[in-house]
Amino acid sequence: MARPSPPDFSNPDTVRDPYPAFACLREHYPVYWCPHFNAWMLTRFDDVYAAQGDARRYSSDRIRQLVNAQLPEDKRAMVEPFVEKASRWMYAQDGQAHQASRQLLSRAFTPRAIDALRADIQAIVDELLSQLSDEPELMAELFNQVPARILAKLYGIPQKDALRLRRWTDDILVFLVGSLDPAYGPREALQGLEEMYEYFGDLIDQRRQAPEDDLVSRVIAAGEAAAITKGNLLAQLAFVLVAGNTTSADMLGIGLLHLLLNPDQLQALRADLSLMACAIEEMLRIDPSGQFSHRVLREDIELKGRMMRKGELVFLVRAAANRDAAHFLDPDRFDIRREKNDHLAFGRGEHFCMGTALFRLEAHIVFTSLLMRFPNLRLIDGQPPVWRTNNLQFRGLKTIHVELH
């Protein structure tokens, strides 16, 4: 029987539901050169897991290659400032540079520091839930608001600025790995990054004059002790924002949708809220908002009969790996009691996501509060949720309309 044709990742319908495409790659093209992305795609659990932990051969210094893969040579000069700034982000660094940046941020993400945010997160969620309309669109009224307001609290900035943070991160992220929407192009990404850096540059200057009990002041103090430049301080403060805003908001929307589409699982969770932590891990496994990460090859690597060359991009498709039947039992089933659930949503190795504990805490508070306050919460008939189709890597809903009572 002939192999099926490879999927078309430039098709919005593939982006809307990528899982059949990922299944096709996993079975027939586990090491696939994708002409749309100018990158290799790895989709099996063992391959993605191994590459994430192999910093020696798979480099994280990938911003220039990501940009070059989608822009012709004559248009690259205009985004050189973007490449220069984004290449300093922690996730785009290797070795000692990465460790220094990680250390700079580490005190803001200790278990104690995260737990200290519990009351603030609960207050933010309670306020937003009290303001919901009877038939709210939850992305706008709740899920986009929660991470932005938490980050505003973490940074010590006014809540009115919180949603500006989301606009900047959307402009940057949608462009970075192949926008299918002309509204998110290189100019918008560069403008969003420059506005973000101007905002945080001013904030750093303010906190140097008058420190407060917030992330910015703590990073400045750590940076001064380690003689870190203002440019690198800015880079890491911007990176926390880029990494933690859009993906967290989208994951909340995706997680609720899977509960609402699986009434037996929702009923089990409502009956026993001690299952919440396990339910959140299952949301992350079955449909992560960050569908893949990327690396640049430091050397030629032969894998499953394909030769990947030094300098080429490799996409590590965690969303595909998380549904690999060789690793997960009945992988397409949403099961909040799943026992073996070592998913790859937060990565592995030295680039394991620093914000893991913060997301788990905010998700726990959001879903617990939502289900307790609105036990009859359900989707509205005739108003199905709408997926974004502008970008394959960052998966999320445009809208999810619900009835509360």
Write out the DSSP string of 206-242.
HHHHS--SSHHHHHHHHHHHTT--HHHHHHHHHHHHH
Given pLDDT bands bounded at 50, 70 and 90, which one contains residue 37? very high
pLDDT at res. 124: 96
Cα separation, 108 vs 297, in Å, equals 32
Q: Which two tokens stand for residue 66?
A: 């990501």
Q: Name the E strands within 26-162.
A: 31-34, 39-42, 58-59
pLDDT at res. 58: 97
Q: What is the pLDDT of residues 291-325, one digit of tens each?
A: 999 999 999 999 999 999 999 999 999 999 999 99
Tell me 75's DSSP state. G
Q: What is the pLDDT of residues 131-149, one digit of tens each?
A: 999 999 999 999 999 999 9
Question: What are the residues whose beta carbons fall under 8 Å from the beta carbon of 387, sequence distance 6 or more?
Answer: 15, 16, 17, 395, 396, 397, 398
For the chain, the structural domain boundaries read: 12-403
Amino acid identity of residue 224, one-letter, is E
Q: What is the pLDDT of residues 147-193, one digit of tens each?
A: 999 989 888 899 888 778 888 888 998 898 888 898 899 999 999 99
32 against 78, higher pLDDT: 32
Q: What is the pLDDT of residues 239-256, one digit of tens each?
A: 888 888 889 999 999 999
pLDDT at res. 351: 80
Cα separation, 247 vs 169, in Å, equals 10
Burial 6-21 (b: 16+ CB within 10 A, else e): bbebeeeebbeebbeb
85 closest CA partner among 59, 102, 63: 63
Q: Are strands 39-42 and 313-316 parallel, antiparallel or unpaired?
A: parallel
CA distances from 93 to 86, 105, 132 (A): 10, 14, 41
Q: Which two tokens stand for residue 386?
A: 């709408």
Q: Which homologous superfamily is 12-403 in? A: Cytochrome P450 (1.10.630.10)
CA distances from 382 to 142, 319, 385, 401 (A): 21, 29, 10, 10
Given a contact cutoff of 8 angstroms between Cβ atoms, the answer to whether 344 and 264 are in contact is: no
Whole-model pTM: value is 0.96
pLDDT for 210 beyond 90: yes
Burial 375-405 (b: 16+ CB within 10 A, else e): eebebeeeeebebbbbbbbbbbbeebbbebe
pLDDT at res. 178: 86
Write out the DSSP string of 240-300.
HHHHHSHHHHHHHHHHHHHHHH-HHHHHHHHH-GGGHHHHHHHHHHHS-SB--EEEEESS-
pLDDT for 48 beyond 80: yes
Given pLDDT bands bounded at 50, 70 and 90, which one contains residue 348? confident
Q: What is the mean pLDDT of the chain?
A: 93
Which H/E stretch holds residue 378? strand 378-379
Cα separation, 391 vs 394, in Å, equals 6
Given a contact cutoff of 8 angstroms between Cβ atoms, the answer to whether 283 and 362 are in contact is: no
Displacement of CA 250 from its chain's centroid (Å): 8
Amino acid identity of residue 82, one-letter, is F
Cα separation, 261 vs 245, in Å, equals 25
Helix, strand, coil tally for the chain in percent (to 5): 55, 10, 35
pLDDT for 266 beyond 80: yes
Tell me 397's DSSP state. E
Q: What is the pLDDT of residues 356-404, one digit of tens each?
A: 999 999 999 999 999 999 999 999 999 999 999 999 999 999 999 999 9
Given pLDDT bands bounded at 50, 70 and 90, which one contains residue 215? confident
pLDDT for 107 beyond 80: no
pLDDT at res. 282: 98
pLDDT for 233 beyond 90: no
